[in-house]
Structure 1
Amino acid sequence: MKRLTTAAALAATAAFTAPALAEEHVMLETRAEVQNRDGNAIGTVTVNETASGTPLVIVALTDLPEGAHGIHLHATGDCSADDFTSAGGHIAGDAQHGVFDAGGPHPGDLPNGIVGEDGDLNVEVFAPFLNIEEMMMDEDGSAFIVHAGADDYMSQPAGDAGERIACGTFAAAE
């Protein structure tokens, strides 16, 4: 029994120290304040540069419907349309959509976000094909989109994830 208690304590300590350790090794590049279709703020997404050069995307959102949702980085920093289509398509580079496509994934493709009963979505994911400066901070900016359904990781051009239910635009970090 003592072994389980010690293991649980170590796991809890690791859970609290891991984010603190990560903060020492990343530099904020850009942040999006995300809103739902009613215009309510539901959280933030940050894209951070790491010492290795591999961007780290951190998603922290609330008040979303339970279930799996496609989440993507989109090519245009504009959430002005009621259905968020003003954000354009995914940041695609020269790739096809999805990890299940031999020509994929897009640099803006992220794994599905899973929302629990509490409505929270918290994800940290590396985006190895993403170039923050060239693909996100270009003249028309970029956006983060949450879709109503799950991304199937293969349907073109966007994974058949359904309508866009939340959006945030990225601005350069101060």
Structure 2
Amino acid sequence: MTRMLIAIAFAAGMAAAASAQQSSQTATANFIGKDGKETGRATLTAAQKGVLIEMEVSDLPKDTWVAFHVHEAGRCDAAGGHESAGKHFAGPDENVEHGFLAAHGPHAGDMPNQYVGADGVLRTQVFNSFVSLDDKGTAIRGRALMIHARSDDNRSQPAGDAGERLACAVIE
């Protein structure tokens, strides 16, 4: 009987540890549009060398490419045009430039443009190998995901001429 109780306690402890590890390996982010209403959700999963971001966001411009970035601050004030999210997350090296095509780029938070379908919904999976969920220097938990109105030209400083901020989500 004592062995069985110890085995049950051990199994419960292992399950709790696995659950804690799994929750530290994932994060969620709820997108808020310019009007302050929720427009979608992202699930972020830590990988050995980066983060997989899976998301669906609605109420976006139809049939167009939009920029997608990680921003520095974990704030999404729709009334202020999501400017509260700050600038793009550069990562541990503040001297890098914005854009995949920049001579001294990219920022850690730069990601490829995404296509919004005819229904105004963005459905995508993006892997960012420059960031982590929680590792010091590259951590994005507590920062914001941002969708901009135009595509990123991957060269212009400081933000790729991506235009207005349409949807913002704090990574929790």
Q: TM-score, normalised by structure 1?
A: 0.76
Residue 21 of structure 1 is matched in structure 2 by none
Residue 40 of structure 1 is matched in structure 2 by 37
Residue 54 of structure 1 is matched in structure 2 by 50
Tell me by how many angstroms 1:96 deviates.
Answer: 1.3
What is the aligned counterpart of 2:75 among 70, 73, 78? 78
Alpha-carbon distance in 2 for matches of 1:118, 1:162: 21
**Partner deviation per Cα, 1:57-102 (whole Å, 9 max, x = no partner):** 1121112112111111111000125200000011102221111012
1:116 aligns with 2:117: yes
Tell me by how many angstroms 1:153 deviates.
Answer: 0.7
CA-based RMSD of the aligned residues comes to: 1.9
Give the gaps of 5 or more residues in structure 2: 1-23
Q: Which moved more, 1:125-134 or 1:153-162?
A: 125-134
Alpha-carbon distance in 2 for matches of 1:68, 1:150: 5
Alpha-carbon distance in 1 for matches of 2:34, 2:104: 33
Tell me by how many angstroms 1:29 deviates.
Answer: 2.2
Secondary structure of 1:113's partner?
strand
Tell me by how many angstroms 1:28 deviates.
Answer: 4.5
1:63 aligns with 2:59: yes
Residue 148 of structure 1 is matched in structure 2 by 149
Tell me by how many angstroms 1:132 deviates.
Answer: 2.0
1:165 aligns with 2:166: yes
**Partner deviation per Cα, 1:106-128 (whole Å, 9 max, x = no partner):** 11111111111111111111111
AA aligned opposite 1:85 = E
Q: TM-score, normalised by structure 2?
A: 0.77
The answer to whether the Cα contact below 8 Å between 1:68 and 1:149 also exists between their aligned partners in 2 is yes
> Percent identity at matched positions?
40
Alpha-carbon distance in 2 for matches of 1:128, 1:170: 17
Alpha-carbon distance in 2 for matches of 1:47, 1:105: 21
Q: Which runs of 4+ in 1 moved over 2 A?
A: none
Alpha-carbon distance in 2 for matches of 1:39, 1:162: 18
How many residues align? The count is: 143
Alpha-carbon distance in 1 for matches of 2:125, 2:66: 15
1:136 aligns with 2:140: yes
AA aligned opposite 2:42 = V
Secondary structure of 1:96's partner?
coil
Alpha-carbon distance in 2 for matches of 1:78, 1:122: 23
Alpha-carbon distance in 2 for matches of 1:99, 1:68: 16
> Of the two, which has the highest radius of gyration?
2
Secondary structure of 2:112's partner?
coil
